[in-house]
Amino acid sequence: MRWSTYFLPTLKEVPVEAQIPSHRLMLRAGMICLSSSGIYTWLPFGLRVLKNIETIVREEQERAGAQEVLMPTIQSADLWRESGRYDDYGKEMLRIRDRHEREMLYGPTNEELITDVFRRFVKTYRDLPKNLYQIQWKFRDEIRPRFGIMRGREFLMKDNYSFDIDKEGAYNSYRKMFEAYLRTFARLGVVAIPVKADSGAIGGDMSQEFHVLAETGESKVFYDVAFEELRHKDLASLDIEKLRNLYAAAEEKHDPQTCPVAPENLKEARGIEVGHIFYFGTKYSEPMKATVTGEDGQLIPVEMGSYGIGVSRLVAAIIEASHDAAGIIWPESVAPFCIGLINLKVGNPDTDKASETLYDALQKENVEVLYDDRDLRAGSKFADMDLIGLPWQIVVGGRSLSMNKIEVKCRKTGLREDLSINEVIKKFTKSTISDGKCV
Ligand code: ATP
Ligand code: MG
């Protein structure tokens, strides 16, 4: 992508309305644009990140055996009356009337709708277990939307729902999702710590939240100091077995049944809730009559769980966990482009030629490059490139070009190296690249 033609409106000024780094940086890096309170347009640069997160979430859902569906955003109030939640849900639910005066609502979550889909088709234990997921926009009329898309009113959520014949099966589905979440967050390049959760409005008897630790987080969490170790690790290369053991050990120690008081090795911190998993048994299947015939021919209400990931909130959470004074530092797995290529002297035949050669060669190898071909001062280009946080910067036209060298800078470490054009191409192609992403 050539920056000169790209819709990427960066801001020099710090927007006064934004109170936390991710909100400031998302506005300054031209990722989102406020439409009305808590409701945003995703601009091209922001949308690329959102889509990358979606892809990783989707791949891990599929790996765990969940199957994708797409439910409507608008639902009928009648379904929510069946479960008894229509009156309970309160003002966060956006209630709508259609032209026939039928009561509708914009879904804040989808337990009722999926239970309805399930009961229409699944009639016997032989068809279980089932696990269905979607990635769909939700609406909650939050009393205080704030921090940009962190606490929006319209937001993108991955939600899935498991259906099992008995408790044991349901626990198994829950464990599978727990593990899928570990993998998902590790691949996204964030440490998300599972903590026991209050089951809240959804209800039920087993529930955990996943929190990204950040000073700006809205929740107070207690976590095992063992997780500190993870914060300094390269998560993408982390061994999943090790991760699983660490979480398992921590969980065992802090089961509220056996350990009601916070022990010494618990640390208090602020966290951003990026995921939440619930087991709630027959809370919906019973009132909504989602039953199947069991082995002995009896009608049994299915055992259910639901599992959410805040896909749009994750964009902000990742930035909270990964930025510096100059701007965002994208983990490679979600970065909107892998490389920012800066031509420092647009119009100079030597730098133009070197830049175009690199741009073409990398494009050909499916490496995602944002080529800054704008005719601007070097200072502005460097500042913009640091602000938008692409993992790698290639700088053409600095002092090194006279020695036939090009500077490559890693945004995260700040380390620089001078390479020839061929070495640069080699560094970012084939051996180090898979699916168009640096690995
Ligand atoms: P919170 O406590 O932050 O209000 P919640 O517990 O009400 O969230 P869940 O019902 O558990 O939210 O929804 C699943 C996930 O959706 C949350 O873990 C969070 O990541 C995301 N989410 C919930 N509300 C919002 C919101 N207003 N804006 C952005 N993401 C949200
Ligand atoms: Mg929650």
Q: pLDDT tens digit string along 269-314?
A: 899 999 999 999 999 999 999 999 999 999 999 999 999 999 999 9
Report CA(433)–ligand 2 centroid distance (Å): 36
Could you tell me where in the chain the CATH 3.30.930.10 domains are found? 21-328
CB of 151 closer than 6 angstroms to any ligand 1 atom: yes
Would you say 258 and 191 are in contact if contact means Cβ atoms under 8 Å apart? Answer: no
Task: Supply the residue whose CA is at minimum distance from atom 2 of ligand 1.
Answer: 273
pLDDT for residue 277: 95
Nearest CA among 67, 168, 42 for reference residue 118 = 67
Q: Which residue, judged by its Cα, is nearest atom 21 of ligand 1?
A: 310
CA nearest ligand 1 atom 11, residue: 276
From the CA of 309, give the closest atom in ligand 1. 15
Encoded tokens for 28:
């300054």
Q: Is residue 276 within 6 Å of ligand 1 at its C-beta?
A: yes
Point out the ligand 1 atom lying closest to the alpha carbon of residue 308: 14
Which residue CA neighbors atom 14 of ligand 1 most closely? Answer: 308
Region 339-438: CATH code: 3.40.50.800
Q: What integer pLDDT is reported at residue 260 of this predicted model?
A: 38
Give the span between the Cα atoms of 245 and 250, in whole angstroms.
8
For residues 134 and 110, the answer to whether their CB atoms sit within 8 Å is yes
The per-residue pLDDT for 62 is 98
38 lines ligand 1 (CB under 6 A): no
Cα 246 from Cα 390, distance rounded (Å)? 31
Residue 141 beta carbon below 6 angstroms from any ligand 1 atom:
no
Pinpoint the residues of the chain covered by CATH 3.40.50.800. Answer: 339-438
The domain 21-328 is classified under which CATH number: 2.40.30.10, 3.30.70.1520, 3.30.930.10, 3.40.50.1000?
Answer: 3.30.930.10
Nearest ligand to residue 197 Cα: 2
Task: Encode burial over 17-52: b for 16+ CB neighbours within 10 A, e otherwise.
Answer: ebebbbbbbbbbbbbbeeeeebebebbebbebbbeb
Q: Which of 207-216, 244-253, 397-406 has the highest mean pLDDT?
A: 207-216
Report how far ligand 2's centroid is from the alpha carbon of 342 (Å).
42
Length of the chain: 439
Determine the average pLDDT of the residues in 237-263. Answer: 55
Q: Is 166 exposed, middle or buried (0-12, 13-18, 19+ CB in 10 A)?
A: middle
User: What's the pLDDT band for 196 if we cut at 50, 70, 90?
Assistant: confident
Strand 339-343, strand 369-372: pairing: parallel
Q: Which atom of ligand 1 is nearest to the CA of 209?
A: 18
Across 343-355, b (16+ Cβ under 10 Å) vs e yields bbbbeeeebbebb
pLDDT at residue 261 tops 60? no
Answer yes or no: is pLDDT of 146 > 70: yes
- Which atom of ligand 1 has the smallest separation from the CA of 157? 16
Q: State in Å: Cα 142 to ligand 1 middle.
A: 10
Rounded distance between C-alpha atoms, residue 356 and residue 351, angstroms: 8
Average pLDDT value over all residues in the chain: 90
- pLDDT number for residue 257: 42
DSSP state letter for 21: H
Residue closest by Cα to atom 31 of ligand 1: 310
Q: 149, 273, 306: which to mutate for ligand 1, most atoms within 8 A of CB?
A: 273
40-47 long-range contacts (CB < 8 A, ≥24 apart) are 40/148, 40/149, 40/152, 40/154, 43/7, 43/8, 43/9, 44/6, 44/7, 44/8, 45/6, 45/8, 45/336, 45/388, 46/315, 46/336
Contact in structure between 326 and 388 (CB atoms under 8 Å): no
Query: Looking at ligand 1, which residue's alpha carbon is closest to its atom 16?
Result: 310
pLDDT more than 70, % of the chain? 87
From 195, 313, 319, mutation site for ligand 1 pocket: most ligand atoms within 8 A of C-beta: 313
Identify the band that residue 227 occupies on the pLDDT scale cut at 50, 70 and 90: confident
Whole-angstrom distance, CA of residue 281 vs CA of residue 286: 9
Rounded Cα–Cα distance for residues 236 and 333 (Å): 8
Tell whether the model's pLDDT for residue 343 goes beyond 90. yes
CB 82: neighbour CB atoms within 10 A?
17
Q: What are phi and psi of 64, to 5 degrees?
A: -85, 0
Proximal ligand: closest to the CA of 154:
1
* Nearest atom (ligand 1) to Cα of 200: 6
